[in-house]
Homo-oligomer: A and B are copies of this chain.
């Protein structure tokens, strides 16, 4: 019997509803910590719309600007200081997954006197958390609809992903028109990230129990694959941005987790890269994905890859599984490196050959193997890294 528990109480305001943000935030608090990244929201006008809505609702705003990609725990500590100094009672994250992830940890760190890293490592268990509201500005991480945060520590070369009850946003405003200004590269990286949340975590897994959930993920993957190049060539294509924005939130929201056991072997592998190099998460995944598929390809996993190719990448049906799977892998490569235009080699990011063994060890996190369609040892991971150079 398939057994799981599903619970997702996030309220999602999709589409043209950003003007309601202030009122919704006011329902949770009156002193908001507004967190964002490098300031692109100021250039696009999103910042002004948000602050106007907050002001109109009588919400006092304290700002923390400058959450970086792959956010550092030190950044979370600094944001927490601002939160404490202004006695903020609600956190509002406006940005990509990095901003939302950092904000998630602030919700707990607000009530903790020590270093937030203690909460990330879960050495200390948080007793409470501020309410979190999120406004994702790109379709990518899906952090807007889950309770996981990914936080890095440059001092220990660690990248951890704690879960927290208060990490689940109370409300999210997903306005796909905000993503019209997301450039081609970020759109591509975001789409690769969404696809990996389908394939790596929920679809390329050993056991599928509920058939229609599996097919729903194929529907989602098919449309991410279809619409990402459209969004790149026509940045203000409403249909493309809507599909990508809703897919970003839907795949992490929990509904798709019920198809079977959940692996995340590519994500764990990618953390081995990110621990040492500044590569956008989605891009690291994009470089790894077809190489990982190629490395583990055998008679056992071939039907999984081939089916994906037929359902999502227009690979012809009726081939033998190994031939079909190879075509699926080639189609994934073609989508990532040609249709999305992503660089395909780690070396282009300055990754050094000599570092690969250490990266592989980091990816394993002290475990004997990473579990997935095929389990990977540290030697396997190193070989995959080598294929990516």
Chain A stretch 222-262: residues in CB contact (< 8 A) with chain B: 222-224, 226-227, 238-239, 242-243, 246-247, 250, 255, 258
- Residue on B with the closest CB to A13? B5
**Which listed residue (B1, B222, B246, B258) contacts A16, Cβ 8 A?**
B1
B243 touches A210 (CB 8 A): yes
The copy count of this chain in the complex is: 2
Q: Determine if A121 is an interface residue (Cβ-Cβ < 8 Å).
A: no
In the complex the two chains form, what is the Cα distance from A238 to B216 in whole Å? 20
Interface residue A215 (Cβ < 8 Å from any Cβ of B):
yes
Among candidates B6, B216, B224, residue contacting A216 with C-beta atoms closer than 8 Å: B216
When distances are taken between beta carbons in the complex, the residues of chain B under 8 Å from A7 are: 9-12
Query: A156 within 8 Å of B by Cβ?
Result: no
List residues of chain B with CB within 8 A of the CB of A9.
7-9
Answer whether residue A220 sits at the interface, using C-beta atoms and an 8 A cutoff: yes
Instruction: Check A242–B2 contact: CB distance below 8 A.
Output: yes
Q: Is the CB of B246 within 8 A of A176?
A: no
With a CB–CB cut-off of 8 A, which chain B residues contact A246? 210, 212-213, 258
Complex-state Cα separation, A304 to B2, whole angstroms: 34
Residues of B within 8 A of A223 (CB): 211-212, 215
For this complex, 8 residue pairs linking A to B, each with C-beta atoms less than 8 Å apart, are A2-B176, A3-B15, A5-B11, A5-B17, A7-B9, A212-B223, A213-B246, A255-B255
- Of all A-B residue pairs in the complex, the 6 with the closest CB atoms, nearest first, are A3-B15, A215-B219, A212-B223, A9-B9, A7-B11, A6-B12
Q: Give A residues with C-beta under 8 Å from B.
A: 1-17, 175-177, 209-213, 215-216, 218-220, 222-224, 226-227, 238-239, 242-243, 246-247, 250, 255, 258
User: What 7 additional pairs, Cβ within 8 angstroms, besides A1-B177, A210-B246?
Assistant: A3-B15, A8-B8, A14-B258, A211-B226, A212-B224, A212-B247, A215-B219
